[in-house]
Structure 1
């Protein structure tokens, strides 16, 4: 009987601790969401609805990702390049929201109309050849070998 009482006590303590862990992170997430919303507003001038569409537990991480890569001027890629890449992907998804956003962000970062057109054309070329290669089931190992040979020949010509 005493052993079953100890087991019961242990289970109750474990359940209580588990309940605390379930409650505490929710309050921490709420605080991090509040901080993220304040930082978004400070950075962007407002909090667009796209951020409000996320659950509070996700907003701090999503904002950290955007600030750490997309808005960070100290990354390997400059802002214009990142936004043109975003546009190329958006055109392929396709996502009208992303296309609009990344087009305007690319312009804000100095992209010309010609650079925007070329980005979309490159996205189309990549999609076209992806369709051909995948649909034709071209052997990947052979493709890699032939690609390496082409690049070696181009490199040799340029030296």
Structure 2
């Protein structure tokens, strides 16, 4: 359940509506995700988050699909169900196959297991890893 109402286009501040329009233009759709509608209560934050996200998720040294896969992994680690669903949809739109999704989930599961074991056992970092 949302802790704030999701604002419609008719309810948002004109500054938020301008951001919504930039989102629509960038994504080639009229749809505005619930995340942006919740964040629209603070037009300054909405603008800042959209601008930063646009920059970070743009093509760069990492392929956009790889960035979405990382986002899914981090969202899983943080328990953000909304983010997992949103970025899984984005990854599929960028070409993620069912096989890649299954492999990603296997890696996330393995990392979670070994992270817990290392933490529980208090394993010290190898000297050769410290140097890097």
> Do these two structures clear the TM 0.5 threshold for a shared fold by scoring above it?
yes
Corresponding residue number in structure 2 for 1:50: 35
Corresponding residue number in structure 1 for 2:71: 86
Higher RCO, Cα 8 Å, sep 6+: 2
Select 1:98's aligned residue among 83, 89, 98.
Answer: 83
Partners of 2:91 and 2:104 in 1: how far apart?
11
State yes or no: 1:144 paired with 2:126.
yes
- CA-based RMSD of the aligned residues comes to 2.2
Residues 45-89 of structure 1 show CA distances to partners (whole Å, capped at 9, x for unaligned) of 23222112112120110100111112x12x111111111111122
**Higher normalized helix content (fraction of residues):** 1
Larger-Rg structure: 1
The count of aligned residue pairs is 115
Partners of 1:125 and 1:146 in 2: how far apart?
23
Select 1:107's aligned residue among 72, 92, 115.
Answer: 92
Do the aligned partners of 1:80 and 1:110 also contact (CA within 8 Å) in 2?
Answer: yes
Any unmatched runs of 5+ in structure 2? 1-12
Once the two structures are TM-superposed, the CA of residue 95 in structure 1 deviates from its matched residue by: 2.2
Corresponding residue number in structure 2 for 1:64: 51
TM-score, with normalisation over the residues of structure 2? 0.75
